[in-house]
Amino acid sequence: MVNKIAYISLSAKGAGIARILMDKYPGDLYLHESAVGGRGTDLTREFSSVIELTGEIFKNYPALVYIMPTGVVVRAIAGEIASKYSDPAVVVIDVVGRNVISLLSGHEGGANKLAYNLANVIGAEPVVTTTTEAEKTLIAGVGCRRGVSELQVRSALEAAVAEAGYKISDLRLIATAQIKADEDGLIKAAQNMSLPLRIIAHSAIIDCGYEFERSEFVENKTGLPAVAEPCALLGGARCRLIQKKMVRDGVTVALALECCGLSE
């Protein structure tokens, strides 16, 4: 098994998305023969049938990322699925990059984590449906000073969650602004707390339709109206703020709750 990702696309547009992702997460690119014209030198192989290709490479990679309709992928992998303990992670991305779906081996194979990571790169919506994640509805929006430590981030999160009457284990994910995507202390805190880190695009924060407290200081520093509160609100689906921003030792945390039920 090679230790990288297989990116599989039926179109040149999908291959463009794959190439963006490959800059951050290297892999092999497989492109349908009908879309090969004008291809770059990074193409691993062209193929004529996604079902046949899947049969050949399914067990050769730890993760397969299909940039095509989900139905096509389901038919392609149907005959190859054996066990969640041995199957590779399978992630599906639509051809315009709106959604990144964890389809197979979410926990054991790492498809859930991969879906978040890939979605962060292209500014897409990560779609994770495994029960453990889907039942959790608490989102933490985090902003911080440059260079804060993992301990500072964790302490601020713990304080905010306790203040709101929840536990750290209730958190579904941490959301932050694009400007903080490379913040080492924040990245390590999310990793060691086994929480996805979702990166919110600056354009989404600026256009956020939710009400939140604006910060003149943050706006002067970053050009954004705020970070913690809008990121908490945009980190999930139909969110409402339950804990306004709390500042602790250089870290700002706000909490939002997803209103997932149809009656809510």
> Mean per-residue pLDDT for 24-46?
86
What number of residues does the chain have? 264
* CATH code for the structural domain at 136-258: 3.30.420.180
Token output for 173: 């994910």
pLDDT more than 90, % of the chain:
80
Say yes or no to pLDDT of 264 above 50: no
How much of the chain exceeds pLDDT 70, in percent?
96
Tell me the CATH class for 5-132: alpha beta
Q: What pLDDT was estimated at residue 260? A: 61
pLDDT in tens, 119-150: 999 999 999 998 888 889 999 999 999 999 99
Q: What is the pLDDT of residues 191-233, one digit of tens each?
A: 999 999 999 999 999 998 888 988 888 888 889 999 999 999 9
Specify the pLDDT at position 261.
Answer: 55
* Cβ atoms within 10 Å of 207's Cβ, excluding its own: 10
Residue 2 pLDDT exceeds 80: no
Q: What confidence tier does 177 reach under pLDDT thresholds 50, 70, 90?
A: very high
Residue-averaged pLDDT of the chain: 92
208, 233 Cβ separation under 8 angstroms:
yes
Whether residue 205 contacts residue 168, with contact meaning beta carbons closer than 8 Å, is answered with: no
Q: Is the pLDDT of residue 259 over 90?
A: no
Domains of the chain, by residue range, sit at 5-132, 136-258
Stretch (H or E) spanning 100: strand 99-104
